[in-house]
Amino acid sequence: MKIKPENYQIDKLDLDIISLLMKDSTIPYTEIAKKLIVSGGTIHVRMRKLKDMGVVKGSQLIIDPSKMGYDICAFIGVYLEKGSLYHSVAKQLEKFPEVVELHYTTGIYSMFAKLLCKNTQNLREVLNEKIQSVKGIQRTETFISLEETMRRQAVI
């Protein structure tokens, strides 16, 4: 019998599992089970439920972009011609591999995007030839990150 995600309540064991996986997403379920003194099957069942609920959306390999040749991190504040264009503009921006995050925002910008580029020339090309050509974008403001001091998940 499959439990509907909306009927499942997250408990301390779920939080402990999430906490361990946030520290190291490669930890085997059997090791999690040993640390939490439960069966491996329990971990599998709990993880399946957390995924079905959308609490866990996967895992990822985190690389250092600068070690892969991406030396420029920039944030772009995007002014749209109309707020109703957000979804169509977002679909266009998703096509550009340099855009690694995209947010619909309040405040002076309609959208805020994070870009990773190889150098300033690459950033200029992305801005001028890609982003500025998207229908619905009125104008943009660019902020170059000089250093990323911290990045983390929400504390669970």
* 16 neighbors 10 (Cβ within 8 angstroms): no
pLDDT surpassing 60 at residue 1? no
* 155 neighbors 18 (Cβ within 8 angstroms): no
Q: Domain 65-145 adopts which CATH fold?
A: Alpha-Beta Plaits (3.30.70)
pLDDT digits (tens, 9 = 90+) for 107-131: 999 999 999 999 999 999 999 999 9
In degrees, rounded to 5, the angle at the alpha carbon of residue 100 between the alpha carbons of residues 94 and 105 is 80
Describe the crossing of helices 29-36 and 12-23 by its angle, rounded to 10 degrees: 130
Looking at the chain, the whole-number percentage of residues with pLDDT higher than 90 is 81
Q: What is the pTM of this model?
A: 0.79
* 59 neighbors 115 (Cβ within 8 angstroms): no
Q: Give the per-residue pLDDT at 2.
A: 53
* CA quadruple 8, 10, 14, 20: dihedral, nearest 10: 130
Q: Residue 19 corresponds to which tokens in the numbers above?
A: 């906490």
CATH number given to 5-53: 1.10.10.10
> Domains of the chain: which residue ranges?
5-53, 65-145
